[in-house]
Structure 1
Amino acid sequence: MDRESCTSRIDVLERLLLDESAEPTNLPLSLLQDITNHFSLDHQIGSGGFAMVYKGVVGKGMVAVKKLSNTFAIQENKFHEEVKCLIKAKHKNIVRFLGYCSETKGKMEEYEGNLVMADQRNWLLYFECLGEDQTRSITQNLQGTLGYMDPEYLRSRHITFSSDIYSLGVIIMEILKGVRQYLEDEYVRII
């Protein structure tokens, strides 16, 4: 990709970051490689069973780029369904989905002593990266429904991944039992 074309694609991504009403879009693998320094370890911010997450630098902004691994174990329609769900999921409390990359190219590989052309899938998802000032403003004041709030969060005033899992667990239990555990008047605000 020439430099001019790459610059115009970065401009598209910057506009996506600035315009909250912009729809998610498909961007090429080469652009996502550029903004993550070719998926370098110093840009890695997380990992899981099927993906690595990288920080992508876009001008003065940042995005999170989730690069799926082990794509041979994932059916293509499952990836398509995930993209569809992410495009529809729009809420002020959900990290904004900016788009996806789905590129497949052939690569010669040895298989059972023979060279074969194998498909190499590159499936990526990219999301808005919240700045530190945004996350701090959320956690300065404790507010929410008491029964859904992680007791550790109440004590320390620090939101962690475990805090989200605790709240999700409460919601899942309510769904499974079919009974709401906490009433609306249990909403608290501690400043």
Structure 2
Amino acid sequence: MTDALQSVLLDPNAEPIELSLLLLKDITNDFSDDQRIDIGGFAAVYKGRLRNGAVAVKKLSQTLSIHEKKFQQEVASLMRMKHTNIVRFLGYCSDTQEKLSDYSNNNAMLNERERLLCFEFLPRGSLDKYITDESCGLDWHERYDIILGICSGLHYLHTKRSIAYMDLKPENILLDHNMAPKIADFGTLIDQDKSFFTKNFTGISGYMAPEYNNGGPISKRADIFSFGVIILELMTGSRPNYPLSEESAALFANEVAGKWRDRLSNAAYSQQVRMCALIAIKCVCSDKYRRPTTGCIIKILNEVQDSNFLWYWVKTMTPDVAIGIVAAVLILASVVAIILVYQQHRMSSWPWVILFAIGAVPDAVLILLNPSSSCYG
């Protein structure tokens, strides 16, 4: 059975499998404290050691209160979650054994239930351990990739799986070897609410959307608020007071970008920092209907990333590369012009075509062969 779990772990396309309680006890050293990673009100998480790699085993508590049908629904939901920025689900265990109880001197057979979930193990732990201000810790590129990765995972949950996560916080975002973020901790807390799933929420107040604190309905917009708080923490190292007006928001974004300027490799990334700050402020808007969607956020982040890359590429371009590009453009323009003139005037304009080719194409070739002869040298 260990080999089967090992195969699922090593094959990213493998489907989750049912696991035996005996196997999970074996790889966690009978759920020893030495291999316990985390513990909460609903479950304890243990590191399971395999021959090649490791897994995370989540042992659910209060199993008597978990209806079997609900557990199976959760497993089915986890099996459908497949995304780079979602912690990978590997398998599950649903074990029930009858044991004799002498409670009140009344010998009776009682069911002892164990419900466990198995996930990929992420060695770098949770995001909260890496939150610092701009003066130290992760560089901007790492923080930007984490922001984009979290949003991509959230976008998948909202649009492909129709899930409102409702407990997004740094402790529930794990990091792999390459610091890629993965949303975790779905537990047995997923309920179905009409058109989407929600979590039986017991979150931290600093990440809770104000409408939820006031008894409002659960919605995906609450996740956007939590995401905005995480962006602000990643950029500043803390949860600052949120600017209320557009003017104060712009001043705040400029202030954050200014603090980052000393650590940025080139000035073009200041605009990226500023845009992330503005996105975060929009996300934590008290009016949930004014918060952006995950799709809108990803579009903006990709546009800023592409524009920064283009600017960086132009600034770092060597003279030889620039000359080659100019020459290639001249040749292409010459060919296009020849085709257009020929199509318009046919054979009667061949003398002009020949003269154009004689004048333009050799100049471009000369630039390629002898860059020093060009005014760009």
TM-score, structure 1 normalization: 0.74
Where structure 2 has 5 or more consecutive residues not aligned to the other structure, the ranges are 131-137, 152-226, 238-279, 309-377
Bigger helix fraction: 2
Q: Match for 1:67 among 56, 59, 63?
A: 59
CA distance in 2: counterparts of 1:179 and 1:117, whole angstroms:
57
Aligned to 1:141: 142
Q: Match for 2:231 among 141, 145, 150?
A: 150
Aligned to 1:41: 33
SS at match of 2:107: strand
TM-align CA RMSD: 3.4
CA distance in 2: counterparts of 1:81 and 1:111, whole angstroms:
33
CA distance in 1: counterparts of 2:33 and 2:41, whole angstroms:
17
SS at match of 1:23: coil
Identity of aligned residues (%): 43
CA 1:132/1:113 → structure 2, altered by over 3 Å: closer, same or farther?
same
Report the CA distance between 1:154 and its aligned residue.
Answer: 1.5
Report the CA distance between 1:111 and its aligned residue.
Answer: 3.4
Amino acid at match of 1:150: I
SS at match of 1:150: helix
Residue 57 of structure 1 pairs with residue 58 of structure 2? no
The structure that has the greater radius of gyration is 2
Report the CA distance between 1:186 and its aligned residue.
Answer: 4.5
Displaced runs of 4 or more, over 6 A: none
Higher relative contact order (CA 8 A, sep 6+): 1
SS at match of 2:59: strand
Q: Match for 1:128 among 112, 120, 127?
A: 120
Report the CA distance between 1:84 and its aligned residue.
Answer: 0.8
CA distance in 1: counterparts of 2:64 and 2:141, whole angstroms:
44
Aligned to 1:79: 71
Q: Match for 2:83 among 76, 82, 91?
A: 91
CA distance in 1: counterparts of 2:7 and 2:84, whole angstroms:
19
CA distance in 2: counterparts of 1:49 and 1:142, whole angstroms:
30
* Stretch deviating more after TM superposition (142-151 or 9-18): 142-151
Residue 19 of structure 1 pairs with residue 22 of structure 2? no
Residue 118 of structure 1 pairs with residue 110 of structure 2? yes
Report the CA distance between 1:77 and its aligned residue.
Answer: 1.2
Q: Match for 1:181 among 281, 289, 292?
A: 292
CA distance in 2: counterparts of 1:80 and 1:121, whole angstroms:
14
Question: Deviation string for 1:108-153 (max 9, x for gaps)?
Answer: 11334301100111111000002349x999x962223697343221
CA 1:116/1:50 → structure 2, altered by over 3 Å: closer, same or farther?
same
- The number of aligned residues is 168
TM-score, structure 2 normalization: 0.40
Where structure 1 has 5 or more consecutive residues not aligned to the other structure, the ranges are 1-8, 157-166
Question: Deviation string for 1:66-90 (max 9, x for gaps)?
Answer: 0112111111111111111101111
CA distance in 2: counterparts of 1:110 and 1:178, whole angstroms:
58
